Amino acid sequence: MGFKEVKAEELQFNPFTKIGKEWMLVTAGDEEKHNTMTASWGALGIMWGKNVVSVYLRPQRYTKEFVDNGEKFTVSFYSEEQRKALNICGSRSGRDCDKEKEAGLTPYYTDGTTAFEEAEMIFVCRKLYSQPMGPDYFTADWIDEKWYPEKDYHVMYMAEIEKVLVKE
């Protein structure tokens, strides 16, 4: 089984379910070295006339180093059978272990970046914009209090979805 390319405009899914409940993996790096992490915060839409995805990474996440150092990354989605793998990728650091191996994931290299063969759908993304988030821009006090007690504010990355691959 492989992947086939489809147009982003042809996709039919609920992004609130896909991202917030089913989760996704954000993966960056190449065949030589890469890392992945589970994410449940993100957005899809149109910006600057492009199909885009936004992902939010805390500064201490190892994957952030790979996203920062490359021009591309992938966002990939999985079936419920991969929930254990997503839990592993969200609870362990690639600095300390081989979480791909622990999760049973097989690297899939595409367009100079990395995803996994077990994915149901992969977005190959090119960074367009990044910006640190911070308390000066929150318009509701509860956000800082609830989500940032350690003051480890996310960095927002907006990326063009250059290619969509779905499992054949």
CA distances from 15 to 24, 40, 41, 110 (A): 11, 11, 10, 23
Alpha helices in the chain (DSSP H): 15-20, 62-69, 83-91, 99-103, 141-147
**pLDDT value at 44 more than 80:** yes
Mean of per-residue pLDDT scores for the chain: 95
**pTM of the shown model:** 0.95
Q: How large is the average pLDDT for residues 126-136?
A: 97
Mean per-residue pLDDT for 85-96?
A: 90
Q: What is the pLDDT of residue 1?
A: 64
Of the candidates 121, 28, 7, 25, the one whose C-alpha atom is nearest the C-alpha of residue 72 is 28
Whether 115 contacts 128, CB under 8 Å: no
Please say whether the beta carbons of 160 and 51 come within 8 A.
yes
Q: What would the mean pLDDT of 76-92 be, rounded to a whole number? A: 93
